[in-house]
């Protein structure tokens, strides 16, 4: 059976905290995102609990008369509990060393595992077309699970919003970027 997932990175937000809302531009992006995905046959919407993710998909869910299911496993990955001056270098390293663990953070392998746990559950359920809304680093790690060539460079190219279509058919997996803002 064909299953299609739309992995969505949230629209532009005012900050990175869990309760940070979308910017005014982000709200317009959310409407454009709904326009893009409206005719894709989406049957379920699952989102990170962070406000920016929820607000990004709310216009689509409303148009489709779907509720937004919240899944805490879709929150952004924390690289380190304290700010790092060299955070980009450490993030790049975390794509090649999946077990890199920084103080108070989460390894890429652990973050990928929680994201993929959501995907695995969805693939076992009845709906065949699902939108999953998350954050840039976790999105890149989920995609890396399906295509090991995805790494820091691809994360760096992600936009707000961004959408990848991941299709599962008879054991084959096809990953395709749909948009970048």
Q: What is the pLDDT of residues 45-95, one digit of tens each?
A: 999 999 999 999 999 999 999 999 999 999 999 999 998 999 999 999 999
Average pLDDT, the chain: 95
Helix axes 24-37, 51-64, angle to 10 degrees: 40
Supply the pTM of this predicted model. 0.95
* Proportion of the chain above pLDDT 90, given as a percent: 94
Each residue of 4-32: pLDDT tens digit?
999 999 999 999 999 999 999 999 999 99
Backbone angles phi, psi at 82, to 5 degrees: -115, 150
Helix axes 136-146, 108-124, angle to 10 degrees: 70
Strands (E), 48-89: 68-70
């Amino acid at each position: 059976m064909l299953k299609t997932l739309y992995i969505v990175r949230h629209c532009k937000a005012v900050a990175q905290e869990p309760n940070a809302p979308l910017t005014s531009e982000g709200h317009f992006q959310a409407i454009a995102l709904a326009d893009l995905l409206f005719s894709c046959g989406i049957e379920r919407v699952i989102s990170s609990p962070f406000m920016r993710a929820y607000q990004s998909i709310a216009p689509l869910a409303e148009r489709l008369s779907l509720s937004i299911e919240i899944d805490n496993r879709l929150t952004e990955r924390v690289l380190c509990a304290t700010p790092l001056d060299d955070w980009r270098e450490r993030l790049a390293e975390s794509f090649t060393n999946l077990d890199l663990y920084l103080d108070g953070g989460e390894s890429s392998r652990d973050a990928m595992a929680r994201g993929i746990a959501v995907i695995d559950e969805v693939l076992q359920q009845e709906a065949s077309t699902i939108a999953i809304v998350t954050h840039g680093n976790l999105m890149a790690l989920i995609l890396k699970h399906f295509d090991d060539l995805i790494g820091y460079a691809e994360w760096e190219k992600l936009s707000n919003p961004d959408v990848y279509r991941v299709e599962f058919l008879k054991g084959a997996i096809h990953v395709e970027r749909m948009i970048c803002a």
